[in-house]
Amino acid sequence: MTASAKEKIIVALDVPGFARAESVLDDLAGAAAWCKIGMQLFTREGPPVVAMARARGFRVFLDLKFHDIPNTVASGARSAAELGVDMLTIHLCGGPEMIRGAVEAAPGVCVLGVTVLTSSTAATLTAVGIPHTPADWVPSLASLGAGCGIGGIVCSPLEIETVRRAIGPGPKIVTPGIRPAGADPGDQKRVLSPAEAIAAGADYLVIGRPILAAPDRRAAFEAMAAELA
């Protein structure tokens, strides 16, 4: 198995608190390279949980999906960069000035743009006054992000090909909604297996429950990495 297969999997640290986060990372230390810290864990535990993951050798994807006025998002991105995170997320619908502000404020960080949340349907967009379907708005936001220097796009596995066409070869594609064959999809509706998502052109896979809920988390991680190698 190559190191690069392991480096393509980002473990979503969707756990309630510090002790569980430590236990998951202790199980995966030396195997996994990346973890994703989202709003549940960061809101409760704050910067010390980022420091704990980094001290164990993990690269950190801080998934707080910033969306605010450009100055505030740039300040938030700068603060995240100071924590030593390697990736962070912003909402691309914040517009060009906000996107450029984040990218410029965090030069050493891969700033990822969220297009349309996979929980949104055409009806959700209509309800907030947006006259698009997710299928047509996703590539248009992705292309806006690419034009503003975004480091990558977060999208569902089924959008990988349209997003890649919209952004060209430079930015990374990061996708959740990954399930190995036979795994419980949970609330994910449109899933691909790890190998299918990489074959479709994803650079990184975000995987949570198939690893977190496994009886042997390290073995579950290793099996998925082996499928990619």
Compare residues 103 and 205 and give the one whose CB is closer to ligand C5P: 205
Residue type, 164: R
Give the footprint of ligand C5P on residues 197-216 (CB under 6 A). 206-209
Distance CA 192, CA 174 (A): 13
172 annotated active-site: no
Compare residues 18 and 104 and give the one whose CB is closer to ligand C5P: 18
Distance CA 130, CA 71 (A): 25
What stretches of the chain adopt beta strand conformation (E)?
A: 9-12, 34-38, 59-66, 87-91, 110-114, 152-154, 172-175, 204-207
H helical segments located in 46-177: 47-55, 70-83, 96-105, 122-127, 134-147, 160-167
Could you tell me the smallest distance in angstroms from the CB atom of residue 70 to ligand C5P? 23
Could you tell me the smallest distance in angstroms from the CB atom of residue 186 to ligand C5P? 6
- Across 28-50, b (16+ Cβ under 10 Å) vs e yields beebbbbbbbbeebbeebeeebb
Could you tell me the smallest distance in angstroms from the CB atom of residue 71 to ligand C5P? 26
> Is 135 a residue that touches ligand C5P (CB under 6 A)?
no
Sketch the per residue contact string, 136 through 155, with ligand C5P: x for CB under 6 A, - otherwise.
Answer: ------------------x-
Question: What crossing angle do the helices spanning 96-105 and 134-147 adopt, rounded to 10°?
Answer: 50
Give the footprint of ligand C5P on residues 61-100 (CB under 6 A). none
Q: Which residue has the CB atom at the shortest distance from ligand C5P? A: 208
Structure tokens at 4: 């690069």
Q: What is residue 188's three-state secondary structure?
A: coil
Size, binding site for ligand C5P by CB under 6 A: 14
> Is 188 a residue that touches ligand C5P (CB under 6 A)?
yes
Could you tell me the smallest distance in angstroms from the CB atom of residue 32 to ligand C5P? 14
Sketch the per residue contact string, 10 through 49, with ligand C5P: x for CB under 6 A, - otherwise.
Answer: --x-x-----------------------x-----------
- Catalytic residue (choose from 6, 36, 65, 172): 65
- Give the residue among 58, 61, 51, 81 at the shortest CA–CA distance from 14: 61
> Quick one: which of 94, 157, 176, 194 contacts ligand C5P (CB under 6 A)?
176
Which residues are tagged catalytic? 65
User: What is the binding site for ligand C5P (CB under 6 A)?
Assistant: 12, 14, 38, 117-118, 154, 176-177, 186, 188, 206-209
